[in-house]
Amino acid sequence: MAQNECPQCGAPNALSDRECKYCGEALTVNSYSAPSATQRPVSEQQEFDFKAEALLYQQQVAQQQFSQQQYINNGIDPSWPIKNKIVAGLLAIFLGGLGIHKFYMGKIGKGILYLLFSWTFIPSFIAFIEGIVYLCSNDHNFQVKHHVRFQ
For residues 83 and 48, what is the distance between their CA atoms, to the nearest angstrom?
A: 50
More confident residue, 135 or 23: 135
- Start-to-end Cα distance in the chain: 52
The pLDDT, as a whole number, for residue 58 is 84
For the cut 50, the answer to whether the pLDDT of residue 30 exceeds it is no
Please calculate the CA angle 13-19-22 and round it to the nearest 5 degrees.
Answer: 65
For residues 73 and 22, what is the distance between their CA atoms, to the nearest angstrom?
A: 25
CB 115 within 8 A of CB 146: no
CB 145 within 8 A of CB 83: no
**What's the average model confidence in pLDDT over 34-39?**
52
For residues 119 and 110, what is the distance between their CA atoms, to the nearest angstrom?
A: 15
The pLDDT, as a whole number, for residue 116 is 96
For residues 94 and 110, what is the distance between their CA atoms, to the nearest angstrom?
A: 17
pLDDT interval class at 31 (50, 70, 90): very low
Q: What are the pLDDT digits (tens) for 46-104?
A: 777 777 788 888 888 877 776 666 556 677 777 889 999 999 999 999 999 999 999 99
The count of C-alpha atoms lying within 13 angstroms of the C-alpha of 30, restricted to the half-sphere facing its C-beta, is 1
pLDDT interval class at 41 (50, 70, 90): low
Q: What are the pLDDT digits (tens) for 104-125?
A: 999 999 999 999 999 999 999 9
What's the longest Cα–Cα distance across the chain?
90
